[in-house]
Amino acid sequence: MRSVMSLTGGLDMYHYPGRYKSSVPPEGRKVVFLDDNGYDIEREHARELFAKGTELTVKEIYVGGSNSTVEFMEYPGKKFNTVMFADVEGGTSDAD
């Protein structure tokens, strides 16, 4: 099983405007949609826009205490649960 995407560099919503584990923002990182994890309704919402294995470009990650979300360049203004995505091979993956 693939690890979920790294949260490193995302906006730390508890220490805003700080970033999580790194001052380098995640913009431009590549992830793929796993069509796994998260709530059924979250996956259904994501499936309306892309298929399992679709590669997407991170715009921003919002790191919360019990839930973190990701926004993509391809879908500005829409946020998705980070546990439904994995870093593309060769990218950062610390499964935060």
Helix or strand run (H / E) with residue 65: none
Q: What percent of the chain has pLDDT over 90?
A: 86
The one-character DSSP state at 4 is P
**Average pLDDT across the chain, whole number:** 93
Report the C-alpha gap between 55 and 19 in whole angstroms: 24
- What's the mean pLDDT in 37-53? 97
Whether the per-residue pLDDT at 93 is higher than 50: the answer is: no
CA distances from 5 to 22, 33, 44, 89 (A): 15, 10, 19, 11
What number is the average pLDDT over the span 13-27? 95
